Amino acid sequence: KNEVEQSPQNLTAQEGEFITINCSYSVGISALHWLQQHPGGGIVSLFMLSSGKKKHGRLIATINIQEKHSSLHITASHPRDSAVYICAANYGADGLTFGKGTHLIIQP
């Protein structure tokens, strides 16, 4: 069964803290996506990974194929980073399978 497990479900941190969100998946994925969803529904694609590491501004995403695990890191977190972060594994013909999401709140 294609599964995606995300942790933690909820995370509250202080401004400036280093944030890590984890995602585990089953075998056989072609890519893993990290998505950000703000209140109101809009979703923004942050990263698409099939190997290694990607960085964009204060956001870093890594994936370990052997361990079937990916992490999203936020450095120098800011209140505007408050959102729901969702990982999604691409199982090819079976489509994207989504994690339940991590509700992140950054307090000033």
Partner 1 sequence: KAGVTQTPRYLIKTRGQQVTLSCSPISGHRSVSWYQQTPGQGLQFLFEYFSETQRNKGNFPGRFSGRQFSNSRSEMNVSTLELGDSALYLCASSLGSYIGNTIYFGEGSWLTVV
Residues that bind partner 1 (CB under 8 A): 30-31, 33, 35, 40-45, 48, 50, 86, 88, 90, 92-101
Pick 11 or 101: Cβ nearer partner 1: 101
Pick 2 or 17: Cβ nearer partner 1: 2
Cβ of residue 96: shortest distance to partner 1, in angstroms? 5
Closest CA relative to residue 72, chosen from 32, 19, 25, 30: 19
Q: How far is CA 89 from CA 12, 31, 39, 69, 105, in A?
A: 25, 6, 23, 11, 24
